[in-house]
Chains A and B, each alone.
Chain A
Amino acid sequence: SQQGEEDPQALSIQEGENATMNCSYKTSINNLQWYRQNSGRGLVHLILIRSNEREKHSGRLRVTLDTSKKSSSLLITASRAADTASYFCATDALTQKLVFGQGTRLTINP
């Protein structure tokens, strides 16, 4: 990956459980975003956290950012079967282009 690693690469949990995905990056950033991708489809923006923020919530999503460790986590609470997808973190710096991590493939079992 151009930017870093996502951990785990694949995660399978039962419906109703919480899912936590981690992302590490290599360079200084302006923002970090999480995107979701259903199999073979386009990427959909989920949430953005700025470099001066430490935590952000949006519905069932909670994102944390630790710039000292260059890492972020995405927590999805009370997972649903429809949450099955790949999740990518993406960072941007001065050049504005988004650089994506390798993604976590999340499977929610009914």
Chain B
Amino acid sequence: AAGVIQSPRHLIKEKRETATLKCYPIPRHDTVYWYQQGPGQDPQFLISFYEKMQSDKGSIPDRFSAQQFSDYHSELNMSSLELGDSALYFCASKQGESSGANVLTFGAGSRLTVL
């Protein structure tokens, strides 16, 4: 069965550089969530999209932006990277913003290392 695909799986950047992470949700899933997980930390909600519109916003820095495209894939853009941005970034998807069981399917994550 198709899962949530994230790319790249690993990314190494220098401070002040930019990075773009991509997420391809499960087919027919129209809701996408982005989470950031620092070393030894719990996943922190960043932002979510439903039907290509931002539906909720969490602790996402102003240096980050994201969008969901017409094919429902999503991209997380990170600029002016800082050492503290080094983390695992997860994308998750589900079908329907208000579907009864709020179960998310997570991708394998993109590991960003900022040097």
> Chain A residues in contact with chain B, CB under 8 A?
1-2, 30-31, 33, 35, 40-45, 48, 88, 92, 95-103
* Complex Cα spacing A102 to B38, Å: 11
* Complex Cα spacing A35 to B106, Å: 10
Residue interface bits B26-38, CB-to-A below 8 A is 1, else 0: 0000000101000
> Chain B residues in contact with chain A, CB under 8 A?
4, 33, 35, 41-45, 48, 55-56, 58-59, 88, 90, 92, 97-98, 101-109, 111
Chain A positions within 8 Å of B104 at CB level: 43, 45, 98
> How many A-B residue contacts, CB cutoff 8 Å?
63
Which 7 residue pairs are nearest across A and B when measured between Cβ atoms? A42-B106, A100-B42, A43-B106, A42-B108, A92-B102, A102-B42, A100-B43
A40 touching B111 by the CB < 8 A rule? yes
Tell me whether chain A's interface is mostly helix, strand or loop, or mixed: loop
B106 touching A30 by the CB < 8 A rule? no
Given contacts A31-B101, A40-B88, contact A96 B56 (CB under 8 A): yes
Of the residues A33, A42, A92, A101, contact of B42 by C-beta under 8 Å: A101
